[in-house]
Chains A and B, each alone.
Chain A
């Protein structure tokens, strides 16, 4: 039973490029959460998605960031026109139900913007 998978594990982008981060939840899980861990900071919630729906995006920056979780395929976190301040570790977590008592985390994608 595979856990939460994220790819790529490491991503290097130049300023102004686009970054696409993928998250495949655990089998049977239809709820995905994205978190960001900036250097020297804790983890911050970004967005909560259910299949084909964004449920809560209160933690997403207003510009350049978007997320989707299509009916088929992984959840995608997209960052357009990246800047150095976007350099961080991005984690996704999945759960089987809304408000589940446990989320299972992926290994993260470490984004470096040069």
Chain B
């Protein structure tokens, strides 16, 4: 079975400060890893994904994440946040032999203050 743990339910941060949203996963098979963003009352938008290869993945809106196999982590980072980054962020895993269904973490609410 696969599971995802997002270690922080809420992360308040000031504008232009750096931020890290933490994600750990567990799986007995190889997985794909994703970060999605959800703005209020909207669907999910893919920020970035790790499939294989380079462990540092760059995504949209200046976000990046690093896959760490030994620590089973996939933390999301941004060096300088904007007010518009305020949203809920979900880490997720999937695997081919599970049909590709996504297993999500509980979400982290990022709140950027001026």
Contact = CB atoms under 8 A, between A and B. Distances in A.
A35 interface: yes
B57 to A, nearest CB: 12
Contacts of A31: 100
Given A56-B99, A107-B42, A107-B43, A99 B104 contact: no
Interface in A10-44: 31, 33, 35, 41-44
Interface size on B, as a range, is 20 to 34
Interface string B72-114: 0000000000000000001000111111111111110000000
B100 A99 contact: yes
A31 B100 CA distance: 10
B43 A105 contact: yes
A12 to B, nearest CB: 15
Contacts of A112: none
A85 to B, nearest CB: 19
B35 to A, nearest CB: 12
A69 interface: no
Nearest to B88: A42
Interface residues of A, number: 27
Nearest to A33: B101
B105 A99 contact: no
Contact of B100 (A41, A42, A103): A103
Contact of A102 (B42, B46, B97, B99): B46
B100 A100 contact: yes
B32 interface: yes
A95 interface: yes
Nearest to A41: B106
A101 B32 contact: yes
B45 interface: yes
Interface string B42-84: 1111100101000000000000000000000000000000000
Interface of B: 32, 36, 41-46, 49, 51, 90, 94-107
